[in-house]
């Protein structure tokens, strides 16, 4: 049927493309893409040859009305280069306007680096805050960290290799030295999850910025440390000696 289809694509391993995603991408009238070279590779992999329209941060305003108009009679699939569209990627305004125009809006869920990283980190999953990419400039970054420092949730952040160590140091400074995980190259050959405190991880990567794609996962703020039982006993004994 005509409308907008939001299609998640693999974040590394092509076998993660769902049969439903492949079906939609094979039958869509047009595929809105971030980078046509990247999506051409995916379409080739499934033997699909569909027309593509670039839809990215720099042209979205201009292209959106035309895509919305086409949804009246055509199936428009939205993909990003990897993972779930709209997650640190363009698309939410397309969804908003498609729905406002009364078009069908359907999601085909699938891989998302943030969620995949959370499952690898071994940190609490009951509450989490996805913070996307922090600003790269130091002042803006520390301001952004201060904003989320008291949130009682596991934090999930996207970062690049060259900035990783500085980002981990800034997180340690702004959040305290919490436990964290650096996950890298998820679903690819060199997938790994390295755990440690923020300062040990910052030191580890300082002179060896890792290659590939990275997600940082940070533990929630700790409970106030329980009073040490031995100290409490001593304090009580001491207080008792001073009772009249």
List residues near ligand SAM by CB under 6 A: 11-12, 80, 82-84, 87-89, 112-114, 158, 160, 183-188, 213-215
Residue 162: CB minimum distance to ligand SAM, A: 12
68 or 214: CB nearest ligand SAM: 214
Half-sphere exposure of 195 (CA within 13 A, CB side): 8
Residue 9: CB minimum distance to ligand SAM, A: 9
Residue 26: CB minimum distance to ligand SAM, A: 21
70 or 117: CB nearest ligand SAM: 117
The closest residue (CB) to ligand SAM is 83
Rounded Cα distance, 195 and 150, in Å: 22
Residue 46: CB minimum distance to ligand SAM, A: 19
């Amino acid at each position: 049927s005509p409308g907008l289809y939001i299609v998640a694509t693999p974040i590394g391993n092509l076998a993660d493309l769902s049969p439903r995603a492949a079906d939609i991408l094979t039958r869509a009238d047009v595929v809105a893409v971030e980078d046509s070279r990247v999506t051409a590779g995916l379409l080739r992999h499934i033997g699909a040859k569909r027309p593509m329209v670039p839809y990215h941060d720099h042209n979205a305003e201009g292209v959106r009305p035309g895509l919305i108009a086409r949804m009246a009679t055509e199936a428009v699939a939205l993909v990003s280069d990897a993972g779930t569209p709209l997650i640190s990627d363009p698309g939410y305004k397309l969804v908003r306007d498609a729905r406002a125009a009364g078009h069908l809006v359907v999601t085909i869920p699938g891989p998302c680096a943030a969620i995949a990283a959370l499952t690898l980190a071994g940190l609490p999953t009951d509450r989490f805050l996805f913070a996307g990419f922090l600003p790269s400039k130091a002042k803006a970054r520390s301001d952004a960290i201060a904003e989320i420092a008291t949130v009682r949730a596991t934090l999930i952040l996207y970062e690049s290799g060259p900035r990783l160590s500085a980002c981990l140091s800034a997180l340690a400074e702004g959040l305290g030295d919490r436990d964290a995980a650096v996950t890298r190259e998820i679903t690819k050959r060199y997938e790994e999850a390295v755990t440690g405190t923020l300062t040990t991880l910052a030191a580890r990567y300082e002179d060896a910025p890792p290659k590939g794609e990275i997600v940082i996962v940070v533990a929630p703020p700790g409970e106030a440390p329980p009073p040490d039982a031995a100290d409490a006993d001593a304090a009580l004994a001491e207080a008792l000696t001073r009772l009249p």
